[in-house]
Chain A
């Protein structure tokens, strides 16, 4: 298994540009989520999904969209990038919320100029 994969690893955007961060897992995990990590603030939940076709907002959802059309993929879309979205983004997945921990991808470092 490749585990949780994220692309790209690094990205630089200009303010107002849009892009999609990709996340995929090959472990047949139902639960997937996106976090952002900022210095001194730990990780904060952006959006999560408990299964294909089901998504919900986390702590900091504004400016981000998600969809879950398949079990394997959970892309995160930035509609109009802002400097405040400069962060490291982590995708995570787990087989079950209650029976297994969340496993994290390697992260995407995004800079918005």
Chain B
């Protein structure tokens, strides 16, 4: 079985603050993929990043950065110098590469981020 937990239901910050969204996952597979998606108030789901289980390098894309640590089964997402446009629901997701969960994307419950001006 696979599971994704986003313990932070809601986070509220003031613009320009840094914010980290936590994601912890469970899987028995050794090969898997991790994702982050953003859902702005308009409702669409926007792909942000995909990571495979063999690549533990951290990634930075502009103000976004991701910290993948297999030892703690975590894939945390940090927004530096947050902006009002970052306000959205953020989902972490896991896809196993084998077993009965093959090809199935499992989402966390989501974290609602509100950035105040």
Residue ranges of A at the interface with B (Cβ–Cβ < 8 Å): 31, 33, 35, 40-45, 48, 50, 56, 58-59, 88, 90, 92, 97-98, 101-104, 106-107
Contact residues in B for A43 (Cβ distance below 8 Å): 45, 91, 93, 105, 107
* Chain B facing A: main interface SS: strand
- Name the contact of A98 in the complex, choosing from B9, B33, B91 (C-beta under 8 A): B33
**Can you report 10 A-B residue pairs in the complex whose CB atoms are below 8 A from each other?**
A33-B105, A40-B109, A42-B91, A45-B104, A45-B106, A50-B103, A88-B43, A101-B50, A104-B44, A106-B43
Q: Mark B102-117, 1 if CB is under 8 A from A, else 0.
A: 0111111110000000
Contact residues in B for A106 (Cβ distance below 8 Å): 43-44
Q: Identify the interface centre among B105, B106, B107, B109: most chain A CB within 10 Å of its CB.
A: B105
Cβ–Cβ contact B108 & A42, under 8 A? yes
Cβ–Cβ contact A97 & B43, under 8 A? no
- For chain B, the count of residues having a C-beta within 8 Å of the partner chain is 22
Cβ–Cβ contact A42 & B103, under 8 A? no
Contact residues in A for B109 (Cβ distance below 8 Å): 40-42
Contact residues in B for A50 (Cβ distance below 8 Å): 103
Cβ–Cβ contact A59 & B44, under 8 A? no
Contact residues in B for A44 (Cβ distance below 8 Å): 107
Nearest CB of chain A from residue B60's CB, rounded to whole Å = 18
User: What CA separation (Å) do A105 and B4 show in the bound complex?
Assistant: 22
The 4 A-B residue pairs with the shortest CB-CB distance in the complex, in nearest-first order: A42-B107, A104-B45, A43-B107, A101-B47
* Chain A facing B: main interface SS: strand
Cβ–Cβ contact A97 & B108, under 8 A? no
User: What CA separation (Å) do A40 and B110 show in the bound complex?
Assistant: 7
Name B95's closest neighbour in chain A (CB-CB). A97
User: What CA separation (Å) do A94 and B48 show in the bound complex?
Assistant: 15
